[in-house]
Amino acid sequence: MELCNTPVGNQKLRIPKETMKQKMDVLQGTLALMILKTLDVLGPLHGYGIARRIEQISGDLLAVNQGTLYPVLLKLEQEGSISSEWGASEHNRRARFYRLTRDGRKQLQAETRDWNQTSAVIARFFAAKSEDFS
Amino acid sequence: MKILKRSLARLRNLFSRHQDDQRLKEEIAEHVALQTAENIRAGLSSAEARRQALLKFGVVESMTEDYRSERRFLFFDTLVQDVRYAFRMLLKAPGFTAVAVLTLALGIGANTAIFSLVDAVMLKSLPVKNPQQLVLFQWDDNKWAPQFGQTGWDSKYSFSYPAFQQFRAQTNVLSSAFAWVPLGFNDENMTVGINGQPTLANGQMVTGDYFSGLGVTPLLGRGINEADENPGAPRVAVISYAYWSRRFARDASIIGRNVALNGISFTIVGVTPSSFYGVQVGTEPDIWVPFDDKPNMRPWSTQPGGGTAASVYTARNWLCVNVMARLQNGVTRAQAQSSLDVLFHNYVTADWHPDNESRVPHLFLAQATEGLPQLQEGTAQPLYILMAAVGLVLLIACANVATLLLARASARKKEISVRLAIGASRPRLIRQLLTESVLMSLLGAALGLVFAAWGTRALVALMSSSSNQLILDVNADAKVLLFTLVAAVLTGILFGLAPAFRITRIELAAAMKDTAANVSDARDKHRLGKSLIVFQVAVSLVLMIGAGLFVRTLVNFENKNFGFDQQNLLSFGLDPTRAGYHDARLVSLYSQLLDRIQSLPGVKAATLVEYAPFYGVADNNDTSIEGEGNKSVSYNVRSQMVGPDFFTAMGIPIIAGRAINRTDTAASPKIAVIDETFARKFFHGQYPIGQRFSGGDKFDPKNSIEIVGVAKSAELTDPHAELKPKAYYAYAQSAKYLDTMFFEVRAQGAPANIISELRDAVYQLDPGLPLMDLKTQTEETADALSQERLFARLTTVFGLIALLLAMVGLYGTMAYSVTRKTHEIGIRMALGAKPANVLAMVIRQGITLALLGVAIGIVLALGATRLISSMIFGVTPYDPVTFFVVAAVLVAVAFLACFIPARRAMRVDPMIALRYE
């Protein structure tokens, strides 16, 4: 039996599949918000540009695995938050440029509000001392 | 909302895989290039810069997988893989695949064939414009008004022509209304003179709105219109596409050609499109003509009003036409119905004043998408029973293939174990196995469609009789294809599910070693196989018992004594009224012809009768007997006009008084012979000879008839019917009512030998009289029993298929079990078991399964046969003989199916068996 020809046999390549998926879900949420904000601030940008920007601001979140950006970009595009088209990069080569759509802007505003509320609440919890609860 | 958008996008992406992979590849390349350039600027060597860029980007493969799963439903990707893999697996075991696909093709094909028939008869809409807007007129005929007389098939759809004219005038609720009526009771109701030769065709009279109301645009020329109905308008006819092809070789110059219809010249003005078959499923008129009151062309070839009216236009209470209409825009069916019901109420009560308003019948408008439901009403139950029978065949086929899959499971054990071991999940494997089974059943369905296309046509031919062809459009439409697809997918899941669950439940370590150690697992697997065998035996027993009952029904009908002699009897009909013979001239024609025929060599006896035995049509009249006073008691009596020598020629004995003979002429007193049933029911032991009776609901002395004889009861109309009281009249005394008569000729030898002499005799008298329905009584009886024959044949075929499948299943299971137990048998024999013991052991196991199946099957059959009790004759639904014989046959065949593997087991060489591993 040829292993590599069986559809399930292919799975041997995807080693830690389950754990990776979970990390992705957490990452995807924050990453999506960062992408939206980046495009909001800087305007249309290609994948590398977005990665650079996120790296500059967030430090090492994307220091490895920059590639994880692309599935998130696709998800946002399919949800209609961003759109994309071919354009010329700095080196005059073909690159895919992403831009925020109207839906995306609204989503960003809503999520920013949510995020601020949540982080404010969490911040207050962390600031609280033990006597505050008594 | 977001999820919806994503799903839509994914759906769109289904069709653009390569293009999008290309896009990602380009984006990655550009990303890495930009990062490399950045790194070089930071001072790295170009090779190192690229290496760092790639490292930073991360693992491309896993990202691509995530990207893809984001982009599309992963399900479809893997489905394609699964299907490709399934194809390879099926090709690897061609023998197994062929058997399974063939079994499924039989099962699914049989279902498709019967469903095509159900579809053609019950579900297809009329091939006209917006058929769902048509309404069919009907009334509740259980409230029969006494003045009503009816000719035709179903009285609840029959109306008189004058009533139709009143309906038609209701243009405030009806946008168009049309009526139609066949010219006779069979396909040969019209004589068409083509190049001087009389031929027979199926003709129908229609009103002016028929074609425009149905919205049928003729292929050539025009339809019949209102102007054609005017008295004195040129006579025109429209012919069907099939008739045009058959008789005129699709001659395009047909429009304007004159043909003689029943001796009168008509001009052909149109040809209907090929899809149009009229408004009644199962029939197709050849020729349509406008309503006419010429005596040559009458509704049902019958005297208007049964001889009481001058023309169809004036016969107020003669129900003979069917009526359909289209509603006015914005008018609902209920509105139209209530408005027309008032009209109908007034129409009925104009001639009749019932003591109670509730005795007046009401008019109803039924939706008529499928047309006049004549065929539907007669065949619905038989079709559903056949559908159930083929459903059972398919279940057996499923069980059979499931058994095969289980047997194959051991061959695939290693493959499955390896896949499980390297991390495939069980649901994933089950899905793969189900893909294989659904693929198999789809292949089976594709082949089944071919079987069905052939089978449906054969079925339609079986259902037709020689004089009434069943004309059905059985081409597979979307409904049939969808049915087949759904049946195939369900079938695949049904037979694949249990084996898939079973196969994937494997003790990994043991299976990988592949020793005989995992006995418990194998035994478990075998239990499913055994229950499948029991199931197959049980269901095939049910089918075979059904078949047995239908076969016995047919035999009982064929051997039934109907009270007349069917031997060497030949009959044919003549309708000289189409050639202008009426009254005394008609009587004299018949009597001359009868004399000629009686004197032919080879003819033993000959007579005349109004309707040939089992022609399926009869006159039923209200009859009142003298002496019952003004009690207004009437009886429904079936009447036949007969010629002289009728009783001797037909072999019906006279038990009292005398027969009808040559001296009973128009000049002599009117007489009748009644039958035993009449005497018993209405004379209550009184001596009936010399008594008088008349038609109508009150005894009418002026039109009364004297009873001169009593004949033994005989069934002459319908082999399925109960005996009805009968009265026979002398045809020569009923000239006013006379039209078509049948000649009954008893030959001395084989009836076929005298056919040409009979034709010559008619031809010599008048070359313009074609012989209708020329056939032997054997053929006529066979035609009347066509449904019984169809059922006996079909259910026997289904029963045999079921038996074959069940026995192949039993054989396969036993053979597999013997192979698996070779080791055990070897040990037994080494320890001293005799070959006979081994033989008995294997057979005992198989027969136990068969007996269990038979027991369960008998219980199921006891419940199932009650459902067909209305369709069987001469046997009870739990006929012990049928049950016993079928069970015995099944056990005997099961014994054979077990014997072959058992004999192999017996011949096991202990030395070889013990080394076998």
Q: How far is B41 from chain A (nearest CA, A)?
A: 14
Nearest CA in chain B to A8: B424
What is the per-residue pLDDT for A9? 35
* A32-59: average pLDDT: 85
Decide: helix, strand or coil at residue B70.
Answer: helix
Non-local CB neighbours of B81 within 8 Å, separated by 6+ positions: A7
Non-local CB neighbours of B738 within 8 Å, separated by 6+ positions: B583, B586, B587, B590, B641, B731
Phi, psi (degrees; rounded to nearest 5) at B181: -155, 135
Decide: helix, strand or coil at residue B743.
Answer: strand
Tokens representing B797? 């075929």
Question: Confidence band (pLDDT; 50, 70, 90) for A7?
Answer: very low
Nearest CA in chain A to B420: A8
Q: Which of B204, B191, B199 is nearest to B264 (CA)?
A: B191
* B883-887: average pLDDT: 95
Q: How far is A61 from chain B (nearest CA, A)?
A: 11
* B775-802: average pLDDT: 91
Q: Which of B723, B805, B804, B774 is nearest to B572 (CA)?
A: B774
* B584-608: average pLDDT: 94
Q: Are B381 and B871 within 8 A, CB to CB?
A: yes
Phi, psi (degrees; rounded to nearest 5) at B482: -65, -45
Q: How many CB pairs under 8 A join A and B?
A: 112
pLDDT tens sequence across B122-141: 988 998 989 999 999 999 98
Rounded Cα distance, B419 and A8, in Å: 7
pLDDT tens sequence across B156-208: 999 999 999 999 999 999 999 999 999 988 888 899 988 878 899 999 999 99
Q: How far is B56 from chain A (nearest CA, A)?
A: 5
Percentage of chain B lying above the pLDDT 70 cut = 94
Dihedral, CA atoms, B327, B328, B333, B339, nearest 10 degrees? Answer: -110
Question: Confidence band (pLDDT; 50, 70, 90) for B525?
Answer: low
| Binary contact (A67, B60; C-beta < 8 A) | yes
What is the per-residue pLDDT for A129? 74
What is the per-residue pLDDT for B107? 93
pLDDT tens sequence across B527-562: 888 899 999 999 999 999 999 999 999 999 999 999
* DSSP-derived secondary structure letter, B122: I
Give the closest of A47, A52, A78 to B10, CB-based: A78
Interface of A with B in 90-119 (CB under 8 A): 90-91, 93-96
Q: What kind and span of H or E run contains B636?
A: strand B635-642
* B17-43: average pLDDT: 82
Q: Are B868 and B877 within 8 A, CB to CB?
A: yes
B67 or B808: which leads in pLDDT: B808
What is the per-residue pLDDT for A58? 73
Residue B631 pairs in a beta bridge with none
| Binary contact (B419, A8; C-beta < 8 A) | yes
Percentage of chain A lying above the pLDDT 90 cut = 4
Distance from the Cα of residue B841 to its chain's centroid: 47
Where do runs of H (alpha helix) occur along B159-240?
161-168, 210-214
Q: What kind and span of H or E run contains B705?
A: strand B705-711
What is the per-residue pLDDT for B508? 62
Rounded Cα distance, B431 and B231, in Å: 74
* B739-753: average pLDDT: 92
* B144-158: average pLDDT: 89
User: Does A3 lie at the interface with B, CB-CB under 8 angstroms?
Assistant: yes
Q: Are B419 and A8 within 8 A, CB to CB?
A: yes
Non-local CB neighbours of B604 within 8 Å, separated by 6+ positions: B568, B746, B747, B748
- In this prediction the pTM is 0.78
* CA dihedral over B842, B848, B849, B851, signed as positive or negative: positive
ipTM value: 0.75
Amino acid letter for position B819: T
| Binary contact (A51, B31; C-beta < 8 A) | yes
pLDDT tens sequence across B71-129: 766 667 678 888 888 899 889 888 889 989 999 999 999 999 999 999 999 988 998 98
Q: Are B571 and B783 within 8 A, CB to CB?
A: no
Non-local CB neighbours of B300 within 8 Å, separated by 6+ positions: B151, B152, B181, B182, B183, B184, B185, B320
Residue B744 pairs in a beta bridge with B571, B607
b/e A92-102 (16+ beta carbons within 10 angstroms → b): eeebbbbebbe
Q: Phi/psi class of residue B721: alpha, beta or left (left: φ > 0; alpha: ψ in -120 to 50)?
A: beta
User: Does A70 lie at the interface with B, CB-CB under 8 angstroms?
Assistant: yes
